[in-house]
Amino acid sequence: MTGSGGAIVIGGGLGGLWATLTLANAGFPVQLFSLFEVRRSHSVCAQGGINAVLDTKGQHDSVRQHIIDTIKGGEYLANQPPIKSMCESAPGLIRTFDRMGVTFSRTAEGLLDQRLFGGVKNKRTCFAGASTGQQLLYGVDQQVRRLESLGQVTKHEWWEFLELLKDEAGNCRGILAMGLNSLEVRAFPAEVVVLATGGFGQIYAPNTTTSTNCTGAAASRCYRQGARFANAEFFQFHPTTMIGRDKTRLMSEAARGEGGRIWVPRTPDDRRAPKSIPEAERLYILEEMFPSYGNTVARDEASRAIWRVTRQMGLGLRGTDRVYLDLTHLDRSFVATRLGAILDIYRKFAGVDPLDEPMEIFPAAHYPMGGLWVDFERDANGGMVSESPRNHATSIPGLYACGECDYAYHGANRLGANSLLSASFSGRVAGASAACYLRGLGSDRPRLRQHDIDSLIARQESLNQHMMRSDGPESPFQIHRELGELMTAKVGVVRANPELEVALEELRELDARLDRIRLGDAKQWANQSLSFARQLRDMLQLAMVVTQSALARDECRGAHYKPEFKLAIPEGKFPGDPEFEDYRARWQANNARWLKTTIAEHRPDGPKIDFEPVDTSLYPPVNPRDYR
Amino acid sequence: MTPAQDTAADGSASQDDSLSVEAIHLRIRRQDRPDSPAYWQDFRLPYEADHNVVSALLALRSNPVTTSGQRVEPVAWERNCMEEVCGSCAMLINGVPRPACSALVDQLEQPIVLAPLPKFPVVRDLVVDRSRIDTGFQHVKAWIDIDGAWDTHEGAPRISPRQWSDNYLYSRCMSCGCCMAACPQFGPHANFIGPAPLAQVRLMNSHPTGRYDKTERLHAIMGEGGLSDCGNAQNCVRVCPKAIPLTTAIGELGRETTLQALKDLFG
């Protein structure tokens, strides 16, 4: 159990598969771990597209503009060198995906088509029908299968990462993992580990668009072993999602863009059929609150407005959180052509046709901008050094992180169609960095002691046995539901310090209740309840990091909104006016205080929060965002 | 898809009818281990209009008590995206192989009978081992042989919108295994590779550079367990949740393999 095991990659979504390909192409054997067959990863859910400046639409698009859009979209909170390198690499990534056979949608001339996406002015988004993430994932999945057939990659599907193995010097030297069928706990030594385990929307379940496996458990386990967690308070809520009992499903922004109207009956608990409610008795939420933008107001504004109407004014449909997203006033054939994909999803999962009845929607947790803290090495031109063992290294030597489980590219809010890009790019960078790290290792590393490994395995196995024999009054599934409700209500779209304090207290109570569960399944084979209950502990830990980080940040920035600390632009005042200049000064003072990365470190009594500076060397924040 | 079930679902269920249903009755085939015998259990859940089979199973796992009052282990089943794009949750629902997430309870006849996807070895309860699909993909080299995952400063050759739309149909295959489960020729009794990997041959062979390995892929499906084992039952295309024209692919491959056989014979 002491030999070199090359590289381990955990997670088989876009990030993990890119890291795998890059490491294997560099000549290192890779062991790839996943909770399930890798092609079922959450990357498949991304519908819209992937940004890359190709400038093929006669709009003089530029990489510089992509960089600026990404920086401003994140309200300057992301370090700028990684963003620069990502945007510069995007066209090359697209060409590589194209060579892999990804079915990108085409122009009449057979070139890659590009379309307009939220938050930008140019057509910059490549897409593959309405299933871009699925197609990109399959592209790299096929390549990994090819390398598997050549013996360069070994897949361990149905294995769950439990903890990192560290040597005496604190270097990550492999992992402990549990076979999800056999429940065997086994050590897998390696010289470097790349974590690519995705986001953690399940702490808001079922009020999240993420897949059931997006628990964040793996990242949480690394955090508990010393990896720093950054910007956890920034979670993007998508305003228009369809609430289900199992999850909420995304209804693309296009529905608002094409003329969809969001409304509720003006009278609370009005039970009439929507179409029988007269215009005058409807509250068109966004049109009344944002007269100049109406229904096309930005994602975060829309989410907050809906929140206000349902949670503060109590006007949600039938006393629930839901509001109408109405397409029934539009021309049926127009809607069918422009919004076919949305209609299909709603018909399929709600069993109702949005051409006949208004859809029912609510904001849901969609994408965490925060994640494991990772390093970068800046080059002379302000980008990332292309081959450096520092890029995407976590604070644990030998552990790298990429994809949605890192924090690197999106700052306080993510630009649409940048997530598939950051997952792919960061996977490739993390793979290359891990390869650099492997090349730089000396031959005289301390060996892991078999005795230490054995006692770690014994500890994990006894934890399993303890859980399987548990016979308390609590249900892990009920605790999970309460976690989702709590996070949605108190650490969601709108935040206030007193509520966050209460949330922390309640999270501690949920954590204590988890000690008193009854698992209800003692079978030593394919025990899903066991795996879930273990992950729930990690979800609670992450929820505490999110809440503590949210409590620490007293400002409004991107997806983190605390109205008590809002800096409002003086109405009708523009640069040059003393009132505006006074606002600018306050905005700058706020940046001096808060334009910093939130860093959480694990301590036995809860997360310890610190702040560190952000590299804004390329495009410093001089002017406040002003959408007037 | 049995037509009878579909009509019953769309046609008769008026709002009032569905409100009068008070419970969801699930009849589930259980199996503790791959080598242990299967058995059936019945469960009742409070009725909610917006349940699908996955959400019903999620609700059931909190309180898994059978209709005879016996507390049992929660049912094991696979799910992930719940948007019918990851392919995890395919199972046999009222005798039809289909993804459970898009199977709306209101559109199903009760009791709702759930069994594992047939033809694949059972792992536990509704979880099956679908690795034979992967083996099939490996066998037919379902990939484009690229020099490496780096930028060569050139993309793939152009693809016409028409060819794109043909290919896109096949690239949506999420390898859920429904087509394989429905195929009479596929299963533990036979070597037949099954419809999903065959459709990938069609997809890869039509790509402008994937075509370079066309001969090899055709040879891979010309031997035992290959294309000629298809019995033309056409079940695959009827159950595919993504409406992939699997039989069209198989037809095209039939012509291609015939031509290939002639080429092999006469050089």
Summarize pLDDT for A498-527 with one digit per residue, the tens: 999 999 999 999 999 999 999 999 999 999
Contact check, Cβ <8 Å, A112/B168: no
The reply to whether B66 touches chain A by the CB within 8 Å rule is no
Last residue of a domain, one of A342, A363, A384: A363
Instruction: Tell me how far the alpha carbon of residue A552 is from its chain's centroid.
Output: 21
Residues A250 and A147 grouped into a single domain: no
User: Of A173, A249, A261, A299, which one is the catalytic site residue?
Assistant: A299
| Nearest CB neighbour to A351, from listed B104, B146, B174 | B104
* Same-domain check for residues B156 and B253: yes
Residues of A whose CB is below 8 A from B80? 36, 40-42, 211-213
Question: Which amino acid type is present at position A276?
Answer: S
Q: In this structure, are residues A271 and A232 in contact, taking their beta carbons and an 8 Å threshold?
A: no
Instruction: State whether B85 and B161 are in the same domain.
Output: no
Cβ under 8 Å to A: B residues 190-249: 203-204, 207, 209-210
Same domain, B149 and B215: yes
For the segment A315-323, the average pLDDT, to the nearest whole number, is 92
Distance (Å, whole) CA B5 – CA B1: 8
All residues of chain A having their beta carbon less than 8 Å from the beta carbon of residue B138 are 145, 148-149
Residues A305 and A389 in one domain: no
Nearest to B151 among A41, A92, A106 (CB): A92
Which of A45, A101, A525 is the closest to B124 by Cβ? A525
The two tokens of residue B150 are 């780096």
Q: Output phi, psi for A384, to 5 deg.
A: -95, 140
Choose from B55, B150, B163, B170 for mutation: most chain A CBs within 10 A: B150
Across the interface, do B55 and A146 touch by the CB < 8 Å criterion?
Answer: no
| Chain A nearest CA to B266, separation (Å) | 31
Could you tell me the two tokens for B92? Answer: 């046999």
Q: For a pLDDT cut of 70, what percent of chain A falls above it?
A: 99
Beta carbons within 10 angstroms of residue A64's beta carbon: 14
**Domain identity same for A497 and A350:** no
**Quick check: B142 contacting A, CB < 8 Å?**
yes
A528 CB neighbours in chain B (<8 A) are 74, 76
How confident is the model over A22-44, as a mean pLDDT? 98
Q: What is the mean pLDDT of residues A246-253?
A: 89
Residue-wise pLDDT tens digits, A223-232: 999 999 999 9
- Please give the pLDDT value at position B57: 98
Q: Find chain B residues with C-beta within 8 A of A41's C-beta.
A: 80, 86
Band of the pLDDT at B10, cuts 50, 70, 90? very low
Residue of A nearest to B33 (CA): A525
Judging contacts by C-beta atoms under 8 Å, the chain A residues touching residue B130 are 37
pLDDT tops 50 at residue B13: no
**Whole-angstrom Cα distance, residue A555 to residue A622?**
18
d(CA A418, CA A82): 13
Q: Tell me, yes or no, whether B68 and B177 share the same domain.
A: no
Q: Is B122 on the interface with A (CB under 8 A)?
A: no
DSSP state of A238: E
**Interface test with chain A among B70, B82, B162, by most A beta carbons within 10 Å:** B82
| Same-domain status, A206 and A264 | no
Q: Do B83 and A351 touch (CB under 8 A)?
A: no
Confidence of residue A24 (pLDDT cuts 50, 70, 90): very high
Q: Does B135 touch chain A (CB under 8 A)?
A: no
Q: Do B167 and A103 touch (CB under 8 A)?
A: yes
- Number of domain units in chain A: 2
Which chain B residues have a beta carbon less than 8 Å from that of A475? 62-63
- Cβ-nearest to B164 among A105, A149, A211: A105
**Is residue A516 a contact partner of residue A473, using CB atoms and an 8 Å limit?**
yes
Which tens digits make up the pLDDT trace of A404-436?
999 999 999 999 899 999 999 999 999 999 999
Q: Provide the mean pLDDT of chain A.
A: 95
Same domain, B110 and B70: yes
Q: Record the tokens describing residue A536, joined without a space.
A: 């729930």
Q: What's the CATH code of the domain at B49?
A: 3.10.20.30
Question: Hey, is the C-beta of B141 within 8 angstroms of any chain A C-beta?
Answer: yes
Q: Which two tokens stand for residue A15?
A: 């990030």
| The pLDDT of residue A296 | 84
Task: Please say if the pLDDT value at position B7 is more than 70.
Answer: no
A299 is catalytic: yes
What's residue B21's pLDDT? 55
Cβ–Cβ < 8 Å for A206, A144: no
Q: Clarify whether residues A226 and A245 are in a common domain.
A: no
User: Which neighbouring-strand residues pair with A195?
Assistant: A10, A401
Final residue of a domain: which of B79, B108, B128? B128
Judged by CB atoms closer than 8 Å, whether chains meet at A37 and B59 is answered as no
Which residue of B59, B107, B148 is in closest CB contact with A245? B59
H or E element: which one contains A418?
none
User: Residue A181 is nearest to which of B64, B123, B210, comparing CB atoms?
Assistant: B123
Per-residue b/e over B112-121, b at no fewer than 16 CB within 10 Å? bbbbbbbbbe
Least confident of A1-5, A97-101, B119-123: A1-5
CATH number at A123 reads 3.50.50.60
Collect all residues of chain B within an 8 Å Cβ-Cβ radius of residue A249.
82-83
B64·A142 Cβ contact <8 A: no
Same-domain check for residues A387 and A326:
no
Of the pLDDT bands very low, low, confident and very high (cuts 50, 70, 90), residue A625 is: confident
Chain centroid offset of residue B75 CA: 21
* Chain B residues whose beta carbon lies within 8 Å of the beta carbon of residue A526: 76, 123-124, 127
Radius of gyration of the CA atoms of chain A, in A: 24
Q: How far apart are CA A193 and CA A400, in angstroms?
A: 6
Q: Based on the fold, state whether residues A221 and A334 are members of the same structural domain.
A: no
Cβ-Cβ contacts under 8 Å, A523 against chain B: 32, 73, 124
> Cis before residue B99, ω within 30 degrees of 0?
no
Q: Helix and strand tally (H, E) in chain B?
A: 10, 7
In this predicted structure, the answer to whether residue A257 has a pLDDT above a threshold of 90 is no
Structural domain for B38, as ranges: 3-128
Mean pLDDT of chain B: 92
pLDDT recorded at residue A5: 65
B138 and B258 in a single domain? The answer is yes
Same-domain check for residues B118 and B140: no
Among candidates B64, B52, B100, B60, which has minimal Cα distance to B80? B100
The CA-based diameter of chain A, rounded to the nearest angstrom, is 79
Mean pLDDT throughout A348-366? Answer: 95
Residues A414 and A483 both lie in one domain: yes
pLDDT at B12 over 80: no
Over residues A590-604, the mean pLDDT reads: 97
Residues B250 and B246: their CA atoms lie apart, in Å, by 6
Checking if the pLDDT of A3 tops 60, the result is no
**Rounded mean pLDDT, B125-145:** 98
Containing structural domain, residue A292: 239-363
What's the gap in Å between the CA of B230 and the closest CA on chain A? 25
Give the ipTM of the model, two decimals please. Answer: 0.95
Per the structure, the count of domains in chain B is 2
CATH number at residue B216: 1.10.1060.10
* Mean pLDDT along residues B67-71: 97
Specify the pLDDT at position B3: 36
**Same-domain status, B168 and B65:** no
**Chain B interface, mutation test: which of A142, A144, A145, A252, most B Cβ atoms within 10 Å?**
A142
Whether residues B85 and A44 touch (CB distance < 8 A) is answered with yes
Segment A126-180, tens digit of pLDDT: 999 989 999 999 999 999 999 999 999 999 999 999 999 999 999 999 999 999 9
* Cα gap B254→B232, rounded to integer Å: 11
Amino acid A4: pLDDT? 55
Q: How far is B259 from chain A (nearest CA, A)?
A: 25
Residue from B50, B117, B135, B203 whose CB has the most chain A CBs within 10 Å, to mutate: B50
Which residues of chain A have a CB within 8 Å of the CB of B174? 39-40, 44, 134
What's the pLDDT at B149?
Answer: 97
Residue A627: predicted pLDDT? 66
**Measured between CB atoms, does B65 come within 8 Å of chain A?**
no
Q: Which of B128, B160, B181 is the last residue of a domain?
A: B128
* pLDDT for the residue B63: 94
Quick one: which of A168, A187, A193 has its CA closest to A3? A187
Contact flag A25-B55 (C-beta cutoff 8 Å): no
Residue of chain B whose Cα is closest to the Cα of A112: B158
Find the range with the poorest average confidence among A234-238, A440-444, B136-140.
A440-444
Of A302, A333, A363, which one is at a domain's C-terminal end? A363
Question: Whole-angstrom distance between the N-terminal and C-terminal Cα of chain B?
Answer: 44
Q: Are A410 and A468 part of one and the same domain? A: yes
A95/B172 Cβ within 8 A:
no
Percent of chain B with pLDDT over 90: 91
Q: Of the residues B104, B128, B152, which one is the last residue of a structural domain?
A: B128
Clarify whether residues A395 and A431 are in a common domain: yes
Give the residue on A whose Cα is nearest the Cα of B150.
A96
Which residue is it, tokens 């769950």? A160
Same domain as B120, residue B64: yes
Which one is predicted more confidently, A340 or B240? B240
Same domain, B117 and B145: no
- The backbone torsions φ and ψ at residue A541, rounded to the nearest 5 degrees and listed phi first, read -60, -45
- B6 shares contact with chain A (CB less than 8 Å): no
Check whether residue A340 and residue A429 sit in a common domain: no
Q: Residue B97, SS3? A: strand
Which residue intervals of A290-361 are DSSP H helices? 299-307, 332-338, 340-350
- Domain identity same for B26 and B118: yes
Last residue of a domain, one of A343, A363, A383: A363
- Cβ-Cβ contacts under 8 Å, B143 against chain A: 100-101, 142-143, 145-146
Least confident residue range of A138-147, A442-451, B73-82:
A442-451
Q: Is the pLDDT of residue B11 over 70?
A: no
> Could you tell me if A329 and A392 lie in one domain?
no
Write out pLDDT tens, residues B173-218: 999 999 999 999 999 999 999 999 999 999 999 999 999 999 999 9
CB contact under 8 A, A145 and B142: yes
Which residues of chain B have a CB within 8 Å of the CB of A212? 79-80, 82
Instruction: Return residues 26-55 of B near A (CB < 8 Å).
Output: 32-33, 48, 50-52, 54-55
Q: Are residues B165 and B216 in the same domain?
A: yes
Say whether A45 and B83 touch across the interface (CB within 8 A).
yes
